[in-house]
Each structure stands twice: as C-alpha cells, then as structure tokens.
Structure 1
Amino acid sequence: MAEIFAGIDVSKQRLDVAVRGRETRGWSVKYDEAGVQSLVQELSELAPTLVVLEASGGFETRMVAALAAAGVPLVVINPRQARDFARATGELAKTDEIDARILALFADKIRPEVRPLRSEETRELDALMTRRRQLVEIRTGERNRLHQASPVVRIGIEEHIAWLDARIGEVDAELQQRIKSSSVWREKDRLLRSAPGVGPSVSVSLLARVPELGALNRQQVSKLVGVAPLNRDSGTMRGQRRIWGGRSDVR
C-alpha cells in the first residue's frame, strides 16, 4: 500500500492542506476549533506516514498539539528549510496552496526524523521566557528615554521602570518555582549552572527552548542552536568557518 504524506500551511485564519501518495489532493479549512478537529479526524483516517508543518510564529501550536494528541506523526520545520527546498524543486511562486504542496513533498522526499514534541509544561516555560524578554526590552527602551527626558515626563518613566522591575521579578520567581517543581528540570538546571557563565536566565532559556538537551550529543546541539562553525569549501578553496542558522533567540 502506498504511503501518505501531508503538508499543512498554517496562517492566522486558515489551514491549507496537501496530501500525496495513494491520493494527491489539497483543500483548506478555517483555523478554528471545528476546523482543527475536522482536519485531525481526516488525517487520522488517512494514517499518513508523516505530516510536515513549518514554524509560523506560534500560530502552528494549536494544530501541532491537536495532531500530536491524536498520535499523528509530525515534524515542524524551519521556514528556511521549506523555502530552500521549494527553490531546489524549481518552484519560485509562493501561495498558501503551493506551500502546503511543497511541505507534503518535503515530507515524502526528505522524511525528517520525528522527535518528541515539547510538553505543555515546556511550552509554558517558553511563554514565560518570551514574556520576560519582552518586559526587559521595554525596560531598556524606557531607561534609554530617561536620559533625555524632560522633568514633566521623567517621573512617569521612572514609575514605569519600577513597575517593569517588579513584573520581571515576578516572572523570574515563577520560572524558578517551575524549575524546582520538576525533578528532571532541577537536575538539568543544576548541571547547566555548574558551567562557568551560566546563570538562572541562561539556564531557563536553554531548558525552555532546547528541550532536546540530554537526548542529543554536543555536536548535534551546537548545530541546532547555531553555534557550530560550518564549512564553506569548494574544490581547492577553503572558506572561513562561520556560525549561522539555528535557534537565534538561544544563540
């Protein structure tokens, strides 16, 4: 029996789907609870070998969680991978329908390894880290404005900075409480912070955004994060090794 591969292009309001194998077709559903459930049911009945989605700024999270809960094998890939693959096939046009078809083809031809998805607890940890980064960025902006603020607005800026300090402190406390509540996270946090230069913020960032720690070797992790110098050689030319790609927010 021919295998089935599917690709799902996720946008804010719509899911575009393409399948290839025993049958080749495409369709779209509204990205709401009913649309997600109908798509999960249809894909479960098709029993695909693999479903591929691309990271879409978090929009894909609900769809991914629903598919994973139904036991559908899936992989979320970097958008760069999908675009580079599309160009390699000669597909230069870009629409949601084309993207879904390319993702299905990617699933069929590349067959990326299915890895365990992040748990709900890890996703929540990541959400808290994202919020902390946002608050720190806002605070940095306010501190920069404070240097040249006129007296009439200076007090307001100082009060806002104090409020931000308090909120950041609350988020930090919540993060540490979540780490302490998990024996697995506690041990990983202890190991990470035993390295020189690794403090609470770096440790929590790694736990939240690199959940693969402990399952991959150091070479794989360095490539995943984007800190491994990569070759750029051709013939007798030996290019300079540079780091690129990977999870830039962690790097």
Structure 2
Amino acid sequence: MAQNDRVVAGIDVAKDKVDACIRSLSLRQTCPSGAQGRRKLMVWLRKHQVGRAVMEASGGYERVWAKVLREAGIEVRIVDPKRVRNFALSAGRLAKNDAIDAEMIAWFAETFSDAPSQAYNAAHEELQTLVKARLSLIDFRMRLVSRSEHAAAGLVQKGHAHILKSLASEIAKLEAAICAKVKSIPDFAERAEIIESVPGFAETSSANIVAGMPELGQVSDKIAAALIGVAPYDDDSGKRRGERHIKGGRRWVRNAIYMPCVGAATLNNPVLKAYYQRLIAKGKEPKVALIACMRKLIVILNSMIARRQKWDPGRYALS
C-alpha cells in the first residue's frame, strides 16, 4: 500500500527525543534526537506507510523533525498545543506524559482531519523567524529600558546602556534582513506593497502581517478574523445573553499590529478613523472599538490581497 493520508502518526517532540504513535495500528515508537534517531523514525514511519505526521509547536524543536519528514515525502501538520490539551481534557484524559501526548496528538489529528493546514513554505518560515526574532528583541529592549529607570547610577546603568546599544544594532540588522527577504520573494513583495498602501501601515507592519498571516487572500473573512484572534464569540445559554469576547488566534501577530492599528484608527486612516469615531459615539469602550477596527482592517486586507488591489478609500469606505 502506498503512503496515504489515512495513516496518521502523532509525534511529541522534546529536546532530546521524540515519541511517536500510530493510534489506528496501536503502535508506539521512541527515538532519540540526532541523525541516528531521525533515521530510526523514518524507517518506522515508512514501514507502517504513514502519510501524515502531526506534531505540536514546541518552541522550535519541531522544525528539524518537520524538515526531515517533508524531505521523506510525508505531509506535516504543526498544531496548537493548547488545542490538543483541551481536546485531551474534553475526552477525560487527565494524565500527561510524552507517550500519552503522542497518542493524543494522533487522536486529535484523526478527529479533525479536515482542518485546513497551511502548506509549508521555507521562505515564509525564514521570514517569520526573522520577524519573531525582531519582536523578541524589541520586547527585551522595552523591559530593559523600564528596569534602567529604577537602576542605581553607575556600573548597572552603564551595563544597561551598553546592552541597549547592542540591541539597537541587532534590531537594525534584523530589519534590514527582513526588508531584503520581503523584496527577494515576488509574492511577499506584492503583498507588502498592497498592505503598505493602507494609510497608517509601513514596512515593519506589512512584514509582520506577511509573516504572520500567509492565509490572507485565500480564506473567508470570518476565518481571517479568527486566525488573528479578533473574531467575537458568543457566550449565551438559554435566555442568558453574555458579552461577546475575542478568543484564541495568533496573539503575536495581533500584538504586533495593535499600535499601527491604533494610529490608523485615531490619526492616519480616514476610513478606519470614521468607523472608530462612530463606534465611540455609540458608547463602545475605546479598546473594544479598536479591536473592531482591527477586525475591519483584516477583512479589508483579506479582500485587497485576494483581488491584488491597493487601497481605495472609496471602495472600503464604511457606511
């Protein structure tokens, strides 16, 4: 039997090993990290004709294994650990260890086999790595600046100043690399140009969106809003009508474009500004109005990228 998607392996990745489970065949395997362990896993997967391997995002440890699996012709899906854990809890599986996790990943993948999976793109992964690295350094810089305000004068402040100078240099290098990467890939460059045509969004913001939302232009507006985590969810039961709240989504992308969206909604973008002011006039809290503007923006960008059209205030003016 040829490799096919019906044979699914759940793989739990740790720093020094992986645990794999083919739940449909009641089979398990543990392999150490390193070249020998990877070869052992490939032999085992091929023996049992696995066509799809599913693993959780695990801080980067999964990348090497995913690369090897893809090179072997096995489809790879990277899933959210929170979704798998919530799935396990909903099934009454309270125990947790690596072997159990591998089984739960396999069960999750079998249950949600039709869930969309973003096709692997090496260039996109590299861009996302650069963008996330930049955001991490900026976050570290902000925390260090906050600490420096309370540091005693002398050696500590000098040390902080030296580190901040180094951080500025490294951030600048990453920004140059991000810019070069976007320009080197025609699809990235086109998407960035479309995003940057929106008043209030420049190179940094467009790179965050290109890296964090590759699905834009290929999914429905509801899915686009859910992916970034600005889709409101009902909280009703019987006659009770609870407040709607946003949940889930890619927090790092949402956080990265929050401030640009604030600027667009309050200063730079006439369409979003009019929408924001209308919501405030209706009694909405400023933060609620800003999240609504972010949702509207993602919907607009989804349409713009799908149509390959730049910003047109007449087309996107909100009634």
Aligned counterpart for 1:229 among listed residues 227, 232, 250? 232
Q: Do the aligned partners of 1:44 and 1:72 also contact (CA within 8 Å) in 2?
A: no
Structure 1 residues 66-118: Cα deviation after superposition (integer angstroms, max 9, x where no partner): 21222212321111111111112211111111111111222222214353433
> Compared with structure 1, are the counterparts of its residues 236 and 118 closer, same or farther at alpha carbon in structure 2 (3 Å cutoff)?
same
Aligned counterpart for 1:68 among listed residues 70, 75, 93? 70
In structure 1, runs of 5+ residues without a counterpart are none
Q: Do the aligned partners of 1:75 and 1:114 also contact (CA within 8 Å) in 2?
A: no
2:166 corresponds to: 163
Count, aligned residues:
250
> Compared with structure 1, are the counterparts of its residues 60 and 237 closer, same or farther at alpha carbon in structure 2 (3 Å cutoff)?
same
2:49 corresponds to: 47
**SS at the partner of 2:11?**
strand
Which shifted more, 143-152 or 186-195?
Answer: 143-152
2-structure distance, mates of 1:104, 1:161: 45
Aligned residue identity for 1:128? L
2-structure distance, mates of 1:37, 1:215: 36
1-structure distance, mates of 2:72, 2:236: 44
2-structure distance, mates of 1:114, 1:75: 9
Aligned counterpart for 2:246 among listed residues 237, 243, 248? 243
Which shifted more, 146-155 or 65-74?
Answer: 146-155
TM-fit CA distance, 1:15: 0.6
Q: Do the aligned partners of 1:118 and 1:211 also contact (CA within 8 Å) in 2?
A: no
In structure 2, runs of 5+ residues without a counterpart are 255-319
Are residues 1:185 and 2:212 paired? Answer: no
Structure 1 residues 162-221: Cα deviation after superposition (integer angstroms, max 9, x where no partner): 332222112111111111111111100011112233222221112222222232222211
TM-score by structure 2 length?
Answer: 0.72
> Compared with structure 1, are the counterparts of its residues 225 and 40 closer, same or farther at alpha carbon in structure 2 (3 Å cutoff)?
farther
Q: Which runs of 4+ in 1 moved over 4 A?
A: none
TM-fit CA distance, 1:150: 4.0
Write out aligned runs for 1:83-122 (5 A).
Answer: 83-113=85-115, 115-122=117-124
Write out aligned runs for 1:6-45 (5 A).
Answer: 6-21=9-24, 23-45=25-47
Higher helix share: 2
**SS at the partner of 1:4?**
strand
Structure 1 residues 144-163: Cα deviation after superposition (integer angstroms, max 9, x where no partner): 24434444234443343233
1-structure distance, mates of 2:150, 2:8: 58
> Compared with structure 1, are the counterparts of its residues 155 and 182 closer, same or farther at alpha carbon in structure 2 (3 Å cutoff)?
same
- Provide the identity percentage: 31
Which shifted more, 102-111 or 113-122?
Answer: 113-122
2-structure distance, mates of 1:229, 1:111: 25
**SS at the partner of 1:249?**
helix
1-structure distance, mates of 2:200, 2:243: 27
Aligned residue identity for 2:223? Q
Q: Do the aligned partners of 1:231 and 1:240 also contact (CA within 8 Å) in 2?
A: yes
2-structure distance, mates of 1:110, 1:116: 15
Q: Do the aligned partners of 1:50 and 1:107 also contact (CA within 8 Å) in 2?
A: no
Root mean square deviation, CA, Å: 2.1
2-structure distance, mates of 1:118, 1:147: 44
1-structure distance, mates of 2:96, 2:113: 22
Q: Do the aligned partners of 1:16 and 1:26 also contact (CA within 8 Å) in 2?
A: yes
Which shifted more, 50-59 or 148-157?
Answer: 148-157
Write out aligned runs for 1:136-175 (5 A).
Answer: 136-153=138-155, 154-175=157-178
**SS at the partner of 1:75?**
strand
Pick 1 or 2: higher relative contact order, CA cutoff 8 A, min separation 6: 1
> Compared with structure 1, are the counterparts of its residues 169 and 35 closer, same or farther at alpha carbon in structure 2 (3 Å cutoff)?
same
2:135 corresponds to: 133
